[in-house]
Structure formats: C-alpha cells, structure tokens
Amino acid sequence: MQMTGHVRQLVSRCFRQLRIIKSCIRSLPFEAAKTVVACFVITQVDRCNSLLAGAPKCLLDRLQSVLNSATRLVFNRRKYDHVRPLPRDRLHWFPVQYRIGYKLALLVYIISSWCCAGLPKVILRWGVDIESGSTSAI
C-alpha cells in the first residue's frame, strides 16, 4: 500500500473514532475526555508514523487535521474555531511533523543504546586490541 492510501485509511479510522467519542464526551470531565481521545485517536496517529518521515506536506496536513479535530472535541470548540495553540499549550501534543521527528530520534536512541550497550562485551570476548585493531578470539 502506498503512503497516500495508508494516510487516507488512518484519517478515516480516526475521524470515525472521533464521531463515536463525540456522543459521550460531554458527560466526561476534562481529564477523562483528554485521556479517551489520546487512547483511541492519538495512538492511531502515532502508530507507525516514523514511516512518514519525508512524506509530502499534504499527507501530514491530513493527519494534522485529525489532531485539530481531536482538540476541538476535547475543548468543545466549533468546527471553524482556531485551535492552533491549544494542543501545544494545554494538551502538550506536538504537531504531526514534530511527532514524527521525535519518534525517529527515540528509535535512533534506543537502537544506539541497545547496540552500544553490548559493544564492550563483544570487544572483551573477541579480544580486540583498540590500538592496533587486531583481533584474537579468547
């Protein structure tokens, strides 16, 4: 599946979840509403989003519209109300392009710390001489 199809299905699923949540969110307190939206919608946006690194802005804008709609739902705002600062200031949600960058940085950190954590054991096991670069199996 191409990225366009993936994003189209993802946006469709997220908006469907938002429509389902909209029916009961008025009866929830703010923190509970925030948690419900984060569990059912934001996790969908974050799932496999590192694959969208370098994707065209039009695809990322569609995902950003999901986050904006989720913000409107949590704060009980109308469709055309400006919600740009609310995710960042009140909900502590990054915009989509920063979420992707954060996920990539986290993956690189995890991989590098996992790989480098075992490196001294490998060096000691194989008896690598750092000075000359020669190896001798112990």
Q: Where are the domains of the chain?
A: 3-96
Alpha-carbon distance 107 to 118, whole Å?
17
Q: Which residues of the chain have pLDDT under 50?
A: 128-131, 133-138
Residue 128: what pLDDT? 45
Residue 112: what pLDDT? 77
Residue 88: what pLDDT? 64
47-52, long-range: CB within 8 Å, 24+ apart, which pairs?
49/96, 49/99, 49/100, 49/103, 50/100, 50/103, 50/104, 50/107, 51/3, 51/6, 52/3, 52/7, 52/96, 52/100
Residue 78: what pLDDT? 77
Residue 12: what pLDDT? 95
